[in-house]
Structure 1
Amino acid sequence: MTEQLIGIQKPVRRILDPDEAIAVLERAVPGLVEHRRGEPAAYDWTAAEALGVALPADYKRLCELYPAFELDDFLGVFLPGPQEETDWARMACEERERWVSYADGGLVPPEVEPRNLLSWGASMEGDDFLWSTGAGGPEEWPVTVCSRNGPWWHYDGGMVQFLAELCDGTFEPWALPPVRPEVTGWWDERGVRHDVA
């Protein structure tokens, strides 16, 4: 059986300014601010992007301000730490091959180009959260959701805005459970996960 793309959800306005997107996320998930770094971390995005992975500005800003975190014991947000950006980009490029093999098995809808999928998160239940990196630059990439239940769908906004609107219930979370706006875990610079009490 071939997977299917069930639709596209569009925000009222796509937020292009990364600091505005972060502010919207911090309002939607108030406990996130407790994990904000005192100073933005320094990243060598040029080295990561030299591997052929350009990244959206909102994602880069989220990485600079926050460690990787988990929402509602459900959605893990992949954020490389400083000095990990090249390894992260290499892994992301290699992961595209996994999507190509899934497509060969009918597990990617025909409307989705598997070589354009770039992962940025996953749920504890097997849902994948990605960018579709096809036409246009990184600021135009839609979020693509691959539900473990089968349906795929796009959100025509940035990744940080997607997280905010998923948590505040702005859009219908097709084939996903509602996500409470709380941070339930985070990862330190050594890659150790911490539960939020």
Structure 2
Amino acid sequence: MSVFEQLQQVLTSSDAEKEANWGEISSFYDICFPSDYMNFLARYGSGEIEEMLAVFRPTSGTDPCARRTSRLPADVLDLPEVNEWSDPRQAELYEPADVMVWGETVEADVLGWITTSGTPDEWPVAVYTHGGEWTIFDCTMTEFLLKLLTGAFEKNPTGIPLFGNGSAHFTVE
């Protein structure tokens, strides 16, 4: 059983969003997105898991207030605390500008990918815990969500109590 199929067993949803125009979106962002993320959005859409973790959709719009997949804003990149890493070796390999944000939590944790590592399907997940540091997880977005919900990480990678719940519900925004 694939990771995505396993995730569908623990993450329920009553709705799904329309397919995105990935050609237009890739052109706008000047990158291709991971296939598991595109599959996730086709099945679930953008929205929230138990009102605690939001998953964003990329859009070709320019509304600065819209919650969408994006790079970290310039004013955030200028903050010195945003360049803190749990593993000092990662600070030598990555910069916050390498992160494409795909989600956030109610505790202000930032969820994204390091987009300078291999192909989109190989991008590791990066998590910035509020007031803390970046931690890299060598897994896809859907693997990250599955491990979060099933408690398969050594410890909770976020500040939210979804860790190890075993199941959750996704609500489309």
Q: 1:100 matched to which residue of 2? A: 77
How do 1:135-146 residues align onto structure 2 when only pairs under 5 Å count? 135-146=117-128
Q: CA deviation at 1:160?
A: 1.1
In structure 1, give the amino acid aligned to 2:147.
Answer: E
In structure 2, give the amino acid aligned to 1:21.
Answer: V
| 1:64 maps to 2:42 | yes
Q: How many residues align?
A: 157
Q: Classify 1:71/1:153 alpha carbon distance in 2 versus 1 (closer, same or farther; 3 Å).
A: same
| 1:77 maps to 2:55 | yes
Gaps of 5+ in 2: 86-90
| 1:128 maps to 2:113 | no
Q: CA deviation at 1:46?
A: 1.5
C-alpha distance in 2 between matches for 1:93 and 1:36: 22
The one of 3, 15, 21 equivalent to 1:35 is 15
The one of 53, 56, 77 equivalent to 2:31 is 53
Q: Identity of paired residues, percent?
A: 23
8 Å Cα contact 1:151/1:175 also seen in 2: no
RMSD: 2.5
Q: 2:60 matched to which residue of 1? A: 86
In structure 1, give the amino acid aligned to 2:161.
Answer: P
SS in 2 for 1:165: helix
Gaps of 5+ in 1: 1-18, 188-197
Q: CA deviation at 1:47?
A: 1.5
SS in 1 for 2:74: helix
Q: CA deviation at 1:99?
A: 4.4
* Larger mean Cα displacement after TM superposition, 108-117 or 92-101: 92-101
Q: CA deviation at 1:75?
A: 0.7
SS in 2 for 1:73: coil
TM-score by length of 1: 0.69
Q: CA deviation at 1:62?
A: 1.2
SS in 2 for 1:166: helix
In structure 1, give the amino acid aligned to 2:81.
Answer: G
